[in-house]
Amino acid sequence: MKVRDLMVTNVVTVGPEAPVGAVARLLRDHDFSGVPVVDANNVVLGVVTEYDIITRHTRPHYPRYIQIMDARIYLENPRHYNEELRRVLAVTAEQLMTKLPARITPDDDMETAIGVMVDTRINPLPIVDENGRLAGILTLHDLLQIVVDEEA
């Protein structure tokens, strides 16, 4: 079986400058496990996965304070929190993405694609044409379809 037999060709992508918050919302709202990052020519630069966001994108440390009646007395300067928050929110898809270790094309065998997905834990795996442009994606969910079809 070839990759083209199972890959999805209608793919949602993000640009390299997409803010991490927007990427996270996209994944959550569409129940995606990841999204390809492409340039203006649709050339694949990498992929941002849920794992990338959870492990590499940390929330800012909230300043500690004590509350006395209605007043907050900060134990550390809240300006540092604001600076850290700006830094976290400025992270882009390009800074967070995982670069592809191998180029998988529609004509590759499924075994090759599965090997890359298992070895790298990249999900979805972008499938590219001979120019590196996005041709489709392959997901673990798609691979489950093979198992289901074989059981039927």
Angle at 22 between CA 60 and CA 102, to 5 degrees: 100
- The tally of CA atoms less than 13 A away on the side-chain side of residue 73 is 4
Q: Does the domain made of 3-151 have the CATH classification 3.10.580.10?
A: yes
Where are the chain's structural domains? 3-151
Q: Supply the pTM of this predicted model.
A: 0.78
pLDDT, tens digit, for every residue of 39-60?
Answer: 999 999 999 999 888 877 655 5
- pLDDT of res. 66: 76
Instruction: Please state, for a pLDDT cut of 90, what percent of the chain lies above it.
Output: 59
Averaged confidence pLDDT in the chain: 87
